[in-house]
Amino acid sequence: MKKTILITGGAGFIGSHVVRLFVQKYPDYKIVNLDTLTYAGNLENLKDIENETNYTFVKADITNGEEMYQLFEKYNFDSVIHLAAESHVDRSIADPNAFIQTNVMGTANLLNAARKNWDGKYDGKLFYHVSTDEVYGSLGSTGFFLETTPYDPQSPYSASKAASDHLVRAYGNTYHLPFVITNCSNNYGPNQFPEKLIPLFINNIKTNKSLPVYGDGKYTRDWLYVVDHARAIDMVYHKGKQGETYNIGGFNEWQNIELIKLLCIKMDEMLGREAGESEKLITYIKDRPGHDRRYAIDANKIKNELGWEPSVTFEEGLTKTIDWYLTNDLWLKHVTSGDYQKYYSNQYIHN
């Protein structure tokens, strides 16, 4: 079936994998990637598909409500897969406003544009909102996040994502706008901006810089390879029930310090360094304010109802990821020049 799909944030980490999957797998769909290209948006992520005939890039900012109306009018989107967001917790602590503008207001602008353009004729329409497990707050040493877990966001980032989730559900309830929401755990893989734990530490090990571990290092996250998240989005987009929420996770919990040690071991091997060399770079630093202790997703609903499961083991995923960062020097060089240096020294040197 022919469809025009708006994917927002498609030049970012997860968005670029989703855009690639949809462009390559569905030649009949026209994919419009809307992205304002913040520090995290990078068209180099999509070089391999930029000339495909079913792909269009539009540089636009979702905080501009008028522009969102105009784009809906121009393209008559059948559906939206909304990933555009400010996405890094540490930046949300330093400057919450950008998160409120993009994640809350930007989502409201897209909902308003979809509602106006679709005008109650919802057949074949879908607003797919991509969210995070961080909206559920922090777990103790036991238990898992279910789709029914009450929201309890703890950081400006997670609060802004929670607000956007609530807005999507409210538009569904009030205006019958067809929607689906997925809440995913921590992603890793190629093309992730080196501010998040795994790509930051890979880059620091590669360049022999210290590895800044927050607090006692015993914080826990559930890690999923980004291509498996994109596969889940494809599945929920096509087979998910409207009005439903699906949690997506890797069934793969790691304490930060254990994960960091594994990364060091693998990188010593892959860089031909002496065993134990990279671990010497580990440095414990001041904790992140309000740091969530543990996230853990119960992803059985999507597994049982839609048959989705991660396809890549953590061992394979980490190897592919390290390999990608070691072979894509130019990509890393481009994203770590200029503003990145300022961010790095504010976050890690003057803090």
Residues of the shown chain interacting with ligand TYD in the complex, contacts defined by CB under 6 A: 89, 186, 196-197, 200, 212-214, 219, 221, 256, 288
Smallest separation (angstroms) from ligand TYD to the CB of 220: 8
Can you give 43-75 as a three-state secondary structure string? HHHHHHHCCCCCEEEEECCCCCHHHHHHHHHHH
* DSSP structure string for 166-180: HHHHHHHHHH---EE
- Contacting range for ligand NAD; rule: CB under 6 A; set: 24-32, 79-87, 112-120, 166-174: 79-87
Nearest alpha carbon to residue 296 among 186, 219, 222, 217: 222
> Among 35, 78, 90, 134, which one carries the catalytic annotation?
134
- Residue 32 CB, shortest distance to ligand NAD, in Å, is 12
Q: Contact between 245 and ligand NAD (CB under 6 A)?
A: no
**Is the CB of residue 123 less than 8 Å from the CB of residue 177?**
no
Among the listed residues 35, 78, 90, 133, the single catalytic one is: 133
Which own/partner contact pairs does 269-275 have at CB distance under 8 Å and 24+ positions apart? 270/319, 270/322, 270/323, 270/326, 271/205, 271/206, 271/326
User: Smallest distance, Å, CB 316 to ligand TYD?
Assistant: 20
Site for ligand NAD in 182-211 (CB under 6 A): 184, 186-187, 193
For residues 239 and 108, give the distance between their C-alpha atoms in angstroms, rounded to a whole number: 25
Residue 157 designated active-site? yes
Question: Is residue 230 a contact partner of residue 21, using CB atoms and an 8 Å limit?
Answer: yes
Annotated active-site residue in 157, 219, 295, 325? 157
> x-or-dash pattern for ligand NAD, window 13-32, by CB under 6 A?
xxx-----------------
Which partner, ligand TYD, ligand NAD, none, binds residue 213 by CB below 5 to 8 Å per kind?
ligand TYD
Q: Which does 102 bind (CB under 5 to 8 A by kind): ligand TYD, ligand NAD, none?
A: ligand NAD
Cβ-proximal residues to 156 (8 Å cutoff; 6+ apart), any chain: 92, 93, 96, 99, 100
Q: Which residues contact 312 (CB under 8 A, 6 or more apart)?
A: 225, 227, 228, 320
Judged by CB under 6 A, the chain residues 105 through 134 that form the site for ligand NAD are: 106, 130, 132
Residues that bind ligand NAD (CB under 6 A): 8-9, 11-15, 35-38, 40-41, 61-63, 83-87, 102, 106, 130, 132, 161, 184, 186-187, 193
Q: What positions carry a catalytic annotation?
A: 133-134, 157
